[in-house]
């Protein structure tokens, strides 16, 4: 079954509706990443709300190590679930799905 087509907000052309909720996704101009960073190259964060918090940056700094999530939690004196929550937020903001990809993206954006 093909997804429904809805008009994108702001008149930016059609956008595919979500097959689950039926709501249209955010328009292209509201995305987290620009196609290219200023001067070309890798994408950069575009909204202040998508910047990593201080605690997220602290968790991010442990990602290149071989420490497990539990060991990172012990180092930061927080629960494992807190670290997992920070990791989800980091992955979402960096637009990645894996720890290794987060490290590569963070290095490319000079966050590490």
Residue 4 has pLDDT above 60, yes or no: no
pLDDT digits (tens, 9 = 90+) for 73-109: 999 999 999 999 999 999 999 999 999 999 999 999 9
Q: Confidence class of residue 17 from pLDDT cuts 50, 70 and 90?
A: very low
% residues pLDDT > 90 (the chain):
48
Closest by Cα among 47, 34, 50 to 93: 50
Look at residue 60 and tell me whether its pLDDT is greater than 90.
yes
The partner residues of 7 in beta bridges, in order of sequence, read: 14
H runs (alpha helix) in 1-112:
54-62, 69-76, 80-94, 99-108
Q: What is the mean pLDDT of residues 27-37?
A: 43
The mean pLDDT of 25-42, rounded to a whole number, is 45
For residue 15, the cross-strand partners are 6
**Which is more confident, 69 or 12?**
69
Length of the chain: 112
pLDDT of 36-50, one tens digit each?
444 455 455 545 447
pTM: 0.58
Both tokens of residue 66?
């071989």
Extract the tokens encoding 72: 């990172």
Longest alpha-carbon distance in the chain: 49
Name the average pLDDT for the chain.
Answer: 73
Q: How far apart are CA 31 and CA 104, in angstroms?
A: 21
């Amino acid at each position: 079954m093909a997804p429904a087509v809805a008009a994108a907000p702001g008149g930016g052309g059609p956008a595919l509706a979500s097959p689950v909720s039926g709501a249209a996704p955010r328009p292209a101009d509201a995305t987290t990443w620009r196609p290219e960073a200023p001067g070309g190259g890798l994408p950069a964060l575009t909204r202040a709300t998508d910047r990593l918090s201080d605690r997220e940056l602290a968790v991010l700094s442990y990602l290149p190590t071989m420490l497990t999530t539990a060991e990172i939690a012990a180092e930061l004196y927080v629960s494992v679930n807190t670290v997992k929550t920070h990791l989800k937020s980091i992955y979402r903001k960096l637009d990645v799905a894996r720890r290794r990809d987060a490290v590569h993206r963070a290095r490319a954006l000079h966050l590490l």
